[in-house]
Amino acid sequence: MKVVVTGGLGYIGSHVAILLLELGHDVIIVDNFSNSSPAVLKRIESITKKNPTFEALDLKKQIDVKTLFSIHKHIDGIIHFAALKAVGESVEQPLRYYENNLHSLIYLLEEVVLQSIPLIFSSSCTVYGEPDAVPIAESAPLKATISPYGATKQMAETIIQDVCVANPTFNAVLLRYFNPIGAHPSAQIGEIPQGVPANLVPYLTQTAIGKREQLKVFGADYPTPDGSCIRDYIHVMDLAQAHINSLEFLWNKKQETNCEVFNIGTGKGYSVLELIKTFQEATGQQVNYSLTERRPGDIMQAYANPQKAEAILGWKAQYSLAEALSSAWEWEKRWQQEQSSNNE
């Protein structure tokens, strides 16, 4: 099959591209390098021993989207990752986030609807806001989001659902990720944060390796067993596999409706302090951390009810938290070693 992966050089997109290539699919990666590097393409080629097609296009520009579809015909599926994703940055630059994340989706939809190309959309558990109960099922109400980033995910879901209602021959799957962590088993690709990491695990690994002085745990007085926030941490390889299952689900036309929503998480919640302890036990590395005040906008706990994905997609998380954290550490060591070599 011919599959377009937008944002395919990003953290999750690159791992999905690898699985698609290993399965023998014809992969077209689209990226504008806003949160990625050309070096990731070489890493994908090194791991898979295959050469995906690459298009350097900016999908928030309608002309670039039209260029993509004029060059490539008979596309069998699109996985749409391309989006800005930093919660804090979105608060500071809301218009940039609304323009980038929504324009790119709308321009893509205009093209894929005409050709009835099935779409998998990269959504987020942020659409649930502060949940009424955990674990969170897909039927849980969507609450007000804490950031423009989360708002773009909610809006994007609404747009896709409306388009599906208006176009019965168009099919989409919305995947609501929980907290992706970890790296490819080869340790050749993983999460590469720009500047100070916005996510917990890369900040933790950078602290363990000495790049950051100390990891701050925001909040130790939540009504949780140890006072820290609880999240559902999923290995990026498990998350990547969920996209493969979703594509096959769409290709086999198994959906009851033409717009399906799935939670992609482990179904287990771990506190920040539990995660730090697990990392230290799994890697033998100590982490300098301190407990500090709560951070505005953080929710207390969120973890998935993944039963729908298990029952309908035949997908279930396979990796443990310790395995995910160990892979993140192996990637961090390799990445820092490469950076040191490049600077010599």
Catalytic site residues?
149
SS3 assignment for 172-206: EEEEEECEEECCCCCCCCCCCCCCCCCCHHHHHHH
Q: What are the two backbone dihedrals, phi and then psi, of residue 341, each rounded to the nearest 5 degrees?
A: -65, -40
Q: What tokens appear for 148 in the block?
A: 């423009």
CA 104 to chain centroid = 17
How many whole angstroms separate alpha carbon 12 and alpha carbon 24? Answer: 19
Q: CA nearest 77: which of 172, 11, 12, 162?
A: 172
Q: At 106, which amino acid appears?
A: I
- Listed in order, strand segments (DSSP E) in 125-258 are 172-177, 179-181, 215-218, 230-231, 233-235
